[in-house]
Structure formats: C-alpha cells, structure tokens
Amino acid sequence: MAGRLSCEDCRATFSAYENENPPCGSENKPDFTKCHYRTIDLWPGNLLVWETYSIVSDQHIMGSMGPVTLDINAVFNVMDRKEIDKKEQLEMLETIRKAYGKVMEQARLKQGLR
C-alpha cells in the first residue's frame, strides 16, 4: 500500500516557496475538494525520498534571478545523517533532483518566467 502525503507536509512544502497557501486554501479554512495532492500516493520506496526532499527543499543555490538549483551538499548531508547507504543515496538524489526541477518549473511558470 502506498502512503499519502500529509496535510502538514503539503503546507510545509508550499510555505517553503514564497509563503504560498497549498491548493486546499489555508490551514484555517481548507477546502479539500481543491486539493489534488491529497490523492497522490507515494510508493513505500519513495517515502524516504519525500522525507529527505522535505528537509532540503529550501536549500537553494541562488542566482541573480532567484533559485538556480538545489544545493546537493545539503541533500547528501541529510542522507548521511540518516545513515542511508551510499548506493541508495545516488538513486534517491536522482528522484529528488527531478522533484525539485518540477517544483521550480511550476514556480517559474507562475511568475511568468517561462
């Protein structure tokens, strides 16, 4: 069985990007009919990836127009502290980079940069 993203994790992820409210609206008056993230399932193998991404999602390398990429040093630091096997770290890194890329793509679209 796959795990579901918690509302707390969703809010934390959205607050890391310009203090935006999650799709449900807000913590005070959530409208879960608007939340398409609530129905996304994570496979058990991706739960550790999501947990790691949640910790490092605000660790950007900044450029003149904002975030350029995720600071990979921070990612490896967290994975080392979690004592994740080195081979698994490389596999997780690829998934984390893809997730970060999609988040940044959406942020740029919203800002009209792409």
Per DSSP, the residues of 13-70 read HHHTTTTPPPTT--SSS--GGG-SSTT-EE-GGGHHHHHHHHHHTT-EEEETTEEEEE
CA gap 103, 11 in Å, rounded = 14
pLDDT in tens, 4-26: 566 677 777 777 766 566 767 66
Higher per-residue confidence, 57 vs 110: 57
CA angle 10, 77, 45 (to 5 degrees): 50
- Kindly give, in sequence order, each residue whose CB lies less than 8 Å from that of residue 108, ignoring residues fewer than 6 positions away: 114
pLDDT in tens, 54-85: 888 888 889 887 888 899 999 999 999 999 99
Could you tell me what percent of the chain has a pLDDT over 90?
23
